[in-house]
Amino acid sequence: MTEWIWILVGTVLVNNFVLVQFLGLCPFMGVSTKIDSAIGMSLATTFVLTLSSAVAYLIYTFLLAPLDVEFLRTIAFILGIAVAVQFTEMLVRKTSPLLYKVLGIFLPLITTNCAVLGVALLNLGKAHNFFESLLYGFGAALGFSLVLILFAALRERLARADVPEPFQGPAIGMISAGIMALAFMGFGGIGAP
């Protein structure tokens, strides 16, 4: 049980995927200008990350490992993720038009989020079992959502701030992201394992 809590704390705060491991930076910069779209992106990413870590685990354990072709894992994971995302999109569109409207274009975009592939590969490296993989994916998504929503809130304020001319636009965004990453490094060292 404590093991599971550590996985969550570790992925959300200590080894945050965006600010500490620098994965998934493009949606982090791209979709963080408005808090509404940041929330939509967070929801969609949470769903896809959790699902895709499960799919990747199943592909690896029941197809690649028995056939002894582990070296295919990157391409196999990408395929699995793409299929899972497409399938989810169709399912959501049919079952919940409202949710489809909220997630909207974010769902297909997530296929190219490197954090998704990163979680799948890191799960392998850490030799997680099925449930731990799920939890790791979910934790990574929670961390991504937390940082994305916080950063979107920051940028909404920045939009109204009196920023010196050379720093306007993406420049001040990058600098704030860097300061945020520094702040998150303060969590380093919590829970040594």
Partner 1 sequence: MIVIYSIVAALLLTALGGALLAWAVERFRVEGNPLVDTIDEILPQTQCGQCGYPGCRPYAEAIAGGDEINKCPPGGQDTINALAELLDVEAPSLDAEHGEEKPPMVAVIREAECIGCTKCIQACPVDAILGAAKQMHTVIESECTGCDLCLEPCPVDCIDMVELARPQVWPNPQLIATDQRGQLEATP
Positions touching partner 1 (CB under 8 A) are 59, 63-64, 67-69, 71-72, 75-76, 79-80, 82-83, 86-87, 90-91, 93-95
Q: How far is the CB of 49 from partner 1 (least distance, A)?
A: 19
In Å, what is the CA distance from 108 to each residue of 44, 80, 187? Answer: 9, 13, 32
Structure tokens at 151: 């950063």
* Alpha-carbon dihedral angle through residues 130, 50, 118, 110, given to the nearest 10 degrees: 150
Contact 28, 18 (CB under 8 A): yes
Judged by beta carbon, residue 14 or residue 56, the one nearer partner 1 is 56
Q: Give me the least distance between CB of 65 and partner 1, in Å please.
A: 10
- Judged by CB, which is closer to partner 1: 65, or 174? 65
Instruction: Quote the least distance from Cβ 59 to partner 1, whole Å.
Output: 7
| Nearer residue to partner 1 within complex by CB, 1 or 71 | 71
Quick one: tokens of 81?
A: 């993720």
Count other Cβ atoms within 10 Å, centred on residue 30: 11
